[in-house]
Amino acid sequence: MGGVDAGGGGCACAANALLKAVLASMIATRKEVVLVDLEAGVEHLGRGTAADVDGLVVVSEPSLRSLRTAAEAARMARELGLKRQALVLNRCPATPELPPLEGLPALAACVPPLAGLAARQLWDGSVLGLAEQAAVDSACLAVEAALFT
């Protein structure tokens, strides 16, 4: 989508408005899956960028701070009418017992720490190698089942 790339560079209002209009148009006129990877945080929800989508996948780290942010994102999404939500924990070696945070979506999948990812991210924009694809595919199937069954 683009964003602010310089100090004092202004806001991303125009880019967000364009993205919101494009998403609304795509969703209203097509019967297909459109996956939008939005920047981390709740700004897109505050701007209503994702207001017309059918479901929301909230991705979080397995930490209390991240899960609190996930619960806040889920609350804002519900205010936009997004009732279909699923939680995915990233870099989570096992399915944990989650703290009782109000509004946190149901846990749909855990993506385990992916071997070599941290080192690869330092030098390469690619985040997935062939070896990690099975874990990601499994998480995607779990999310699809949580959102659309």
Note the pLDDT of residue 140. 86
pLDDT reported for residue 29? 65
80-102 residue pLDDT tens: 888 899 999 998 988 999 999 99
In the chain, what are the domains?
13-148 (3.40.50.300)
Read off the pTM. Answer: 0.76
Beta bridge partners of 87: 58, 107
Distances (CA, A) of 129 to 35, 59, 118, 126: 20, 20, 12, 8
pLDDT mean over 51-67: 88
